[in-house]
Amino acid sequence: MIKVAELIKKEKNRLQRGLELIPSENYVSKDVLKALGSILTNKYSEGYPKKRYYGGNEFIDQIEELAIERAKKLFNVEHVNVQPYSGSPANLEVYYAFLNIGDKVVGMNLAHGGHLSHGHSVSFSGKNYDFVHYGVNQETELLDYDEIRKLALREKPKLIISGATAYSRIIDFEKFQNIAEEVGAIHVADISHIAGLIAAGVHPSPFPFTDVVTTTTHKTLKGPRGAMIMCKEKYAQQIDRAVFPGMQGGPHNHTIAAIAVCLGEALRPEFKAYAKQVVKNAKALANELKKQGLRLVSGGTDNHLILIDLTGEECVGKEAEAALDEVNITVNKNMIPFDKRTPFNPSGIRIGTPAITARGMKEPEMKVIGQMITRVVRNYKDKMIKDEVRQQVLELCKKFPLH
């Protein structure tokens, strides 16, 4: 126990002294942490509110109902299931609800910004369903909805997935819904990365017209590591049965409580201001990186993340991630569209602004961060320069302490 406590303390110190730029990471509030570390982890509650297989769930029912009520209000949706353990399980539960093994699905190519659970060959989804993938246009590096429509008309999938994990531009969910309706498919929007932006009105919403929406509850939503499935009322029974008893047993009540807390926070005006600043910061950071001469996939960003193409640099994904780690800047190596390198050492790095915005940083700090990133990438073997940048990072972090 002492060892674990020591490691937690070290991780807290790492966070205090560094810039977390991985776009799927964020800092939750103390209230979310309190709920997550509460006695609610002790309780078993298989089933749903008022329909449990265990006694003693009076207050658990109220907590789950509160989370559902807040999600409905925040996203303007008819039905919500807050029990999925995380994002990938939520996507698999949707597949289980609507598909048979071997059914055809259209999703986004992982190398172009999609997710493992959107049918990659190493994933359960790719191994058990017949996935056909769309990507971005090679010249614009943007989604080409006409091409996606042609693909769907040709392949006649049973389900179409929109949403991405490394796409920095606006996604037109209504166009995806129209394509799905034209070919008679179910449209599933995975908004895991941009849920907080959608909730705050700084990204177009898939609600209320989209058939089914999945999301994690962390990332831009600033909650615990959990997930939700939201859908039209006509699909409610299919979704609920797929989650329990289809693919899960007892829900994680402490996580559901923390989800309820984060959704309550997301309904406040200050959260909208936060989400708007996340996008402002991403745009400011992108502009500075371009000013410094780095190439950005699609030329910039409309949301919280930026994909940097290092093809023209001596230092590519793996080396860039390691060098930035040395100076306390955390990023992740990432494939870029039409990448000629491997996922183990791809051509790009992916960065985002949710966590640094949560610390209170704004546009002036983005300019400094953009300069530091470029300096390290261009001098990734120079120990003296990396030492100088590390000191800059420490000084910047002292001005914006974690609470």
For 22-53, the pLDDT digits (tens) are: 999 999 999 999 999 999 999 999 999 999 99
245 preceded by a cis bond (ω within 30 of 0): yes
219: annotated active-site residue: yes
SS3 48: strand
341: annotated active-site residue: no
Residues carrying CATH 3.40.640.10, the chain:
30-266
Residues carrying CATH 3.90.1150.10, the chain:
277-399
Assign domain 30-266 to a CATH class: alpha beta
Mean pLDDT (the chain) is 96
* Catalytic one of 158, 219, 283, 375: 219
What count of Cα atoms within 13 Å lies in the side-chain half-sphere of residue 310? 27
**Are 331 and 324 in contact, with CB atoms under 8 Å apart?**
yes
Q: Is 184 left (phi over 0), alpha (psi -120 to 50) or beta?
A: left
Question: What pLDDT shows up at residue 157?
Answer: 98
Q: How confident is the model at residue 117 (pLDDT cuts 50, 70, 90)?
A: confident
Q: What is the mean pLDDT of residues 106-110?
A: 94
295: annotated active-site residue: no
96: annotated active-site residue: no
Q: What is the mean pLDDT of residues 158-186?
A: 97
Looking at domain 277-399, which of 3.40.50.1000, 3.20.20.80, 3.90.1150.10, 3.40.630.30 is its CATH number?
Answer: 3.90.1150.10
Is the sign of the CA dihedral 337, 125, 250, 246 positive or negative?
positive
* Catalytic one of 64, 93, 141, 190: 190
* Catalytic one of 25, 27, 43, 46: 46
pLDDT at 158 over 90: yes
291: annotated active-site residue: no
* Catalytic one of 214, 216, 220, 255: 216
Q: How confident is the model at residue 1 (pLDDT cuts 50, 70, 90)?
A: low
Least confident of 146-150, 296-300, 312-316, 391-395: 312-316
Question: Tokens 């353990």 identify what position?
Answer: 85
Strand residues in 317-358 grouped as ranges (E): 329-330, 332-334, 348-352
Angle at the Cα of 391 (from 387 to 396), degrees rounded to 5? 145
Q: What is the mean pLDDT of residues 260-277?
A: 98
134: annotated active-site residue: no
Q: Which amino acid is at 308?
A: I
* Catalytic one of 225, 290, 341, 378: 225
Q: What is the mean pLDDT of residues 108-114?
A: 91
pLDDT tens digits, 49-97: 999 999 999 999 999 999 999 999 999 999 999 999 999 999 999 999 9
pLDDT at 120 over 90: no
Q: What is the mean pLDDT of residues 188-208?
A: 97
* Catalytic one of 25, 43, 44, 149: 44
